[in-house]
Amino acid sequence: MNYIEMKSEIDRLKKEKNAIIIAHYYMRPEVQDVADYIGDSLGLARTAAKTDKQMIVFCGVDFMAETAKILMPDRDVLIPYSRAGCFLADMIIPEELNEYKEEHPNVPVVSYINTTAEIKALSDIICTSSNAVNVVKSLHTKEVIFGPDKNLAQFVADQLPEIKFHIWEGYCQVHERITVQSILEIKKRHPDAAVVVHPECTPQVIRIADFVGSTTKIINYVKDSDKKLFVIGTEIGIAHQIRKKTSGKRIIFPKATPLCYNMKTITLPRVLSALKKDQFKVSVDKKTAEKAKIVIERMLAVS
């Protein structure tokens, strides 16, 4: 089946099954092009929470699909590849978090949305990269446990010096690979380029950036800026929407291209199979889901 045939079969099945396809910006371009909604973690969670469709085909990694299932337990949430995991989400497990909480009694836990349902259920609130500062502020606390991304934690901590942060030592290997040197090499050749990075990048990279923001904010920044050339410090999948939404702008990615293999496991044939065979259904243990839902809804209320 060629691309056009696959796309038309996906469209047909979508109608037949009353399904919506939602996709993260890090998806392959051809997957983004069959999606009804493309966005960052916050946008995806919001979209999942308000859709009237019976089936949600979630083109992203497992914690994202789990979040959709938690918010919409009566819907069929499908992930096209059952092993699309997240390196960062795997850097914290419930036993470790429980131990850490015991070491820091009465300190609220803010978890990044890039966590399993179990970790969300053990947290007080979750956040995304676009609302993390407001989420922490909303707690009116003097201390906070923030995890699992140490870089995002540091980025938020720097903006809220009055709060003591207990930072989990996790990171995303895709953003960690973006180095100051690789950015400066590009700047040497293109001194006018604006450096635009995601807060999962290291503090050293963030320090030399002109703008730091979530994927949605990065796209909007490039769109609205007077600059013509941008060094992009996040996963390469974002290039597709930047190119579609901006014209006359050029983007360059640092060497050792930031590419998330887990995100790229979602292919168009797998999206088609998901719709054809109703696979792979996402399920979350009921008790865990109930606790995690409260925590996710707290974040949505802050946003």
Residues of this chain that interact with ligand SF4 (CB under 6 A) are: 61, 86-88, 114, 172, 174, 235, 260, 262-263
Q: What is d(CA 160, CA 143) in angstroms, rounded to the nearest whole number?
A: 11
Phi-psi region of 277 (alpha: psi -120 to 50; beta: other; left: phi over 0): alpha
**Least distance (Å) between residue 64 CB and ligand SF4:** 8
If the CB atoms of residues 14 and 77 are measured against ligand SF4, the closer one turns out to be 77
If the CB atoms of residues 14 and 39 are measured against ligand SF4, the closer one turns out to be 39
If the CB atoms of residues 53 and 58 are measured against ligand SF4, the closer one turns out to be 58
| Nearest in space to 88 (alpha carbons), one of 60, 115, 117 | 115
Q: What is d(CA 111, CA 125) in angstroms, rounded to the nearest whole number?
A: 7
Which residues share a beta bridge with 229?
A: 250
Q: What is the DSSP string of 140-152?
A: --SEEEEESBHHH
3 state SS of 177: coil
If the CB atoms of residues 128 and 262 are measured against ligand SF4, the closer one turns out to be 262
Rounded (5°) CA angle 267-272-278: 115
**Least distance (Å) between residue 81 CB and ligand SF4:** 13
**Least distance (Å) between residue 63 CB and ligand SF4:** 8
**Least distance (Å) between residue 177 CB and ligand SF4:** 10
Residue 226: Cβ-neighbour burial (10 angstroms; 0-12, 13-18, 19+): exposed
If the CB atoms of residues 53 and 282 are measured against ligand SF4, the closer one turns out to be 282
Cis, peptide link before residue 105, omega less than 30° from 0:
no
If the CB atoms of residues 14 and 78 are measured against ligand SF4, the closer one turns out to be 78
Residue 88: Cβ-neighbour burial (10 angstroms; 0-12, 13-18, 19+): buried
If the CB atoms of residues 14 and 202 are measured against ligand SF4, the closer one turns out to be 202
**Least distance (Å) between residue 92 CB and ligand SF4:** 12
If the CB atoms of residues 172 and 222 are measured against ligand SF4, the closer one turns out to be 172
**Least distance (Å) between residue 286 CB and ligand SF4:** 26
**Least distance (Å) between residue 287 CB and ligand SF4:** 26
Q: What is d(CA 54, CA 175) in angstroms, rounded to the nearest whole number?
A: 35
3 state SS of 302: helix
**Dihedral angle computed from the Cα positions of residues 32, 35, 37 and 43, in that order, rounded to the nearest 10 degrees:** -60
Q: What is d(CA 50, CA 229) in angstroms, rounded to the nearest whole number?
A: 37
**Least distance (Å) between residue 265 CB and ligand SF4:** 10
Q: How many CA atoms lie within 13 A of 294 on its CB side?
A: 10
